[in-house]
């Protein structure tokens, strides 16, 4: 199975920013964890990170044409206001999972609402970095693999 993991703004600063919320593991640790999951499951997993909304939208649209069979997305702050990313997610047909490291329901009021989640098949939040692995498992189960 070919899975695309998209990380939005500031995710590349894991282990640097707000360690009390996002933990002390850095972005390279997350990449290694995901690569290991790909090896264990036989999946091809590509990870894409951008701080730019348009680049994220372009990558979602490219996934429609490149054989991607599932998307995991952590839109970061775009979660709460990017209807453009919502529309891009809604326009592609493969299963999609929105992931958040922290529990967005127990944070500031503006973080409690996701405008992108309705375009996804599942939302996982508050499980830390292992939430990414849960999202991959969901996609594999969804594809019967």
pLDDT tens digits for range 45-86: 999 999 999 999 999 999 999 999 999 999 999 999 999 999
Rounded to 10 degrees, the C-alpha dihedral 118/61/99/72 comes to 120
Which amino acids are annotated as binding site for substrate, given as ranges? Answer: 74, 80, 87, 101-102, 111
pTM for the model stands at 0.95
- What is the arithmetic mean of pLDDT over 105-133? 94
Structure tokens at 10: 């500031």
Indicate the number of domains in the chain. Answer: 1
User: Which residue out of 22, 78, 125, 132 is catalytically annotated?
Assistant: 22
Instruction: Give the single-character DSSP code of 100.
Output: E
Give the mean model confidence (pLDDT) for residues 91-103. 97
**Extended beta strands in the chain, E state:** 2-7, 44-49, 70-74, 96-100, 122-125
Q: What is the pLDDT of residues 1-51, one digit of tens each?
A: 999 999 999 999 999 888 878 878 999 999 999 999 999 999 999 999 999
Is 27 designated active site? no
The tokens of 111 are what?
A: 């973080």
Q: Provide the 10 A C-beta neighbour count for residue 142.
A: 16
Q: Is 100 a catalytic site residue?
A: yes
Share of the chain above pLDDT 90, in %: 86
Looking up residue 80, the CATH number of its domain turns out to be 3.40.50.9100
Range of the domain at 69: 2-142
Catalytic residue of the set 78, 86, 100, 132 = 100
């Amino acid at each position: 199975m070919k899975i695309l993991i998209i990380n939005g703004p500031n995710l590349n600063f894991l282990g640097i920013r707000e360690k009390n919320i996002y933990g002390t593991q850095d972005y390279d640790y997350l990449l290694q964890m995901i690569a290991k999951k790909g090896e264990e499951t036989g999946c091809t997993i590509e990870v894409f990170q951008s701080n730019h909304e348009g680049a994220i939208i372009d990558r979602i649209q490219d996934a429609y044409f490149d054989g991607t069979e599932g998307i995991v997305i952590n839109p970061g702050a775009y979660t709460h206001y990017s209807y453009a990313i919502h529309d891009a997610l809604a326009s592609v047909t493969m299963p999609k999972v929105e992931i958040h490291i922290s529990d967005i329901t127990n944070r500031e009021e503006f973080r409690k609402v996701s405008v992108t989640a309705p375009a996804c098949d599942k939302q996982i939040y508050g499980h830390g970095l292992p939430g990414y692995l849960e999202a991959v498992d969901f996609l594999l189960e969804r594809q019967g693999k």
